[in-house]
Amino acid sequence: MAKVLILDHSKSVRNILRERLEYEGFSAEAVEDEATASDMCEKVPFDLIISDTGCKVPDAGIPFIALSADASVDSAVEAVRNGAQDFLTKPIDMNRLMQSIHRTIENPAPAPAAPAPVVRRSRRARPAEAEHIIGISPEIEHVRQLIDKVAPCEARVLITGENGTGKELVARWLHAKSSRAAAPFVEVNCAAIPSELIESELFGHERGAFTSAIKQRKGKFEQADGGTLFMDEIGDMSLAAQAKVLRALQESRISRVGGDKEIEVDVRVIAATNKNLREEIKKGNFREDLYHRIGVIVVRVPALREHAADIPTLVDHFVRTISAEYGARPKPVDPAALEALRQMPWTGNIRELRNVVERLIVLSGERITARDVKEYY
Ligand SMILES: Nc1ncnc2c1ncn2[C@@H]1O[C@H](COP(=O)(O)OP(=O)(O)OP(=O)(O)O)[C@@H](O)[C@H]1O
């Protein structure tokens, strides 16, 4: 199975591309910044990178396709000069992209030894601050109030809720409203890292600690020093890794893999899970002592079906923000289309709603109709 890395500052572009690539049978990883992309390229033998022209593609000799919101000849020339094998404009024509991917993977041209850095920043670079939490239902209001209460204290927080409900957004706000806001917010997805790499990912490694450790590297705990470490999908971490995290939390010290020095770290951990950790403890999959360490305060983010009253406000918000990302005028949404959207089960929660709205913006005509919703949901 060909492996593709998606590098784009926009979460919605990453989500839509990853979904489509996985649907087409590729293995796809999506990252938002160059540093993570470089890291991933050291670990995973990607066959192809798809990157926004506003991002610098890692110099790993992997063929890449450039995407840009700027359709000018100049930006196409610039992308190709920087080593891109193809150049497509946004909004993305998925069929063209698929053809381009197959062409590039089947006939990779030799990548230039060291592609020159792309200098132009994307017009749609992700804002440093967290996106707003949209919704006026009592359920969302309750989450907002909890954030305001909990953010200023140093307590560790466990955020629970189904996939796509907004757990990461809540974590970003807990950081943004804390006294650590000026320090880094570092995210680690515990489910995405193979168990043999998690220790080095979290605690870093010294040069020569293992065969591929060609240089010393700081782990996520050190990167988050003074700030917040968001450990997403903590329920998926192996028991061995849990033991190491517990030690780091108990002692506020870590040591890099292959190193004997203890390094003090000042990190507030915010964890998230879509699992019922009490059940996982009963099954022997999660350490009870770690649960008590991370879950001093639990914030439960409701599923979208529990606050369906927010769907019209969320749809309006996504229509406006996604259209702005595409540089297009927001399309009107028919009341019947809105009603149809309200009726959907939304098992993928707000992430799914956002993706459906993006699909509707790309695929509908002048306005978004109930028929479009039926066809593209
Ligand atoms: N209340 C909200 N208002 C606006 N956007 C939201 C809201 N909640 C979630 N989103 C958006 O929905 C998407 C999914 O949210 P997020 O990544 O925070 O979910 P999650 O619960 O962390 O998902 P997962 O469990 O899969 O990691 C993001 O694009 C986020 O910005």
Confidence at residue 122, expressed as pLDDT on a 0 to 100 scale: 33
Confidence at residue 73, expressed as pLDDT on a 0 to 100 scale: 61
- In this structure, are 154 and 249 located in the same domain? yes
- In this structure, are 234 and 91 located in the same domain? no
- In this structure, are 80 and 221 located in the same domain? no
CA of 213 to the centre of ligand 1 (A): 34
Confidence at residue 121, expressed as pLDDT on a 0 to 100 scale: 30
Confidence at residue 130, expressed as pLDDT on a 0 to 100 scale: 65
CATH number at residue 166: 3.40.50.300
Provide the ipTM. 0.98
Determine whether the shortest distance from the Cβ of 358 to ligand 1 is under 6 A: no
Domain count for the chain, please give it.
Answer: 3
Confidence at residue 116, expressed as pLDDT on a 0 to 100 scale: 32
Phi, then psi, of 154 in degrees rounded to 5:
-90, 0
Confidence at residue 82, expressed as pLDDT on a 0 to 100 scale: 75
Handedness of CA 38, 42, 43, 46 (dihedral sign): positive
Q: Which atom of ligand 1 is nearest to the CA of 165?
A: 21
In a domain? residue 119: no
Q: Which atom of ligand 1 is nearest to the CA of 171?
A: 18
Return the best residue to mutate from 163, 185, 350 for the ligand 1 pocket (most ligand atoms within 8 A of CB): 350
- In this structure, are 149 and 287 located in the same domain? yes
In a domain? residue 48: yes
Confidence at residue 197, expressed as pLDDT on a 0 to 100 scale: 83
CATH number at residue 370: 1.10.8.60
Which residue CA neighbors atom 13 of ligand 1 most closely?
A: 351
In a domain? residue 113: no
- In this structure, are 363 and 313 located in the same domain? yes
- 152: containing domain: 138-300
Q: How far is CA 253 from CA 134, 179, 215, 221, in A?
A: 38, 21, 22, 9
Positions of the chain with pLDDT lower than 50, given as ranges? 110-128
- Number of other residues whose CB lies within 10 A of the CB of residue 345: 10
CATH number at residue 20: 3.40.50.2300
Q: Which atom of ligand 1 is nearest to the CA of 172?
A: 18
Contact 275, 235 (CB under 8 A): yes
In a domain? residue 123: no
Q: How far is CA 278 from CA 92, 246, 282, in A?
A: 43, 17, 6
Determine whether the shortest distance from the Cβ of 274 to ligand 1 is under 6 A: yes
Determine whether the shortest distance from the Cβ of 232 to ligand 1 is under 6 A: yes
Which residue CA neighbors atom 16 of ligand 1 most closely?
A: 166
